[in-house]
Amino acid sequence: AQTVTQSQPEMSVQEAETVTLSCTYDTSESDYYLFWYKQPPSRQMILVIRQEAYKQQNATENRFSVNFQKAAKSFSLKISDSQLGDAAMYFCAYRRTDSSYKLIFGSGTRLLVRP
């Protein structure tokens, strides 16, 4: 069975600095999708970034980028120029490419941003 592990329950970053959130996963599949979701205090889940496993190039969305290491089964999220609005829970998630569509979430990392 696939699993997703986030080993950092909480991280703290100074505003305008850079922070990296870690995520590892376990799967026997060769193709799959990986996601980072943000859950602010409103609890609305917001997609931050996604990565297709067949793509070697790391995904980037403005201040958010990932370091995808397929062999190591690692998928970390880097947030540059951190802003107060980045404070939230961040969940790493995995999905197979087949029709099951089920998202498997990690336990989450709470990001605190210090002004």
Partner 1 sequence: GAVVSQHPSRVICKSGTSVKIECRSLDFQATTMFWYRQFPKQSLMLMATSNEGSKATYEQGVEKDKFLINHASLTLSTLTVTSAHPEDSSFYICSAPSSMLYGYTFGSGTRLTVV
62 touching partner 1, by CB under 8 A: no
101 touching partner 1, by CB under 8 A: yes
Site string for partner 1, 74-93 (x = CB under 8 A): -----------------x-x
Long-range contacts at 37-45 (CB < 8 A, ≥ 24 apart): 37/90, 37/91, 37/93, 37/105, 38/86, 38/88, 38/89, 38/90, 38/91, 39/88, 39/89, 39/90, 39/91, 39/108, 40/85, 40/87, 40/88, 40/89, 41/88, 45/91
Q: With respect to partner 1, which residue has the nearer C-beta, 19 or 90?
A: 90
By CB under 8 A, name the binding residues for partner 1: 33, 35, 37, 42-45, 47, 50, 91, 93, 95, 101-108, 110
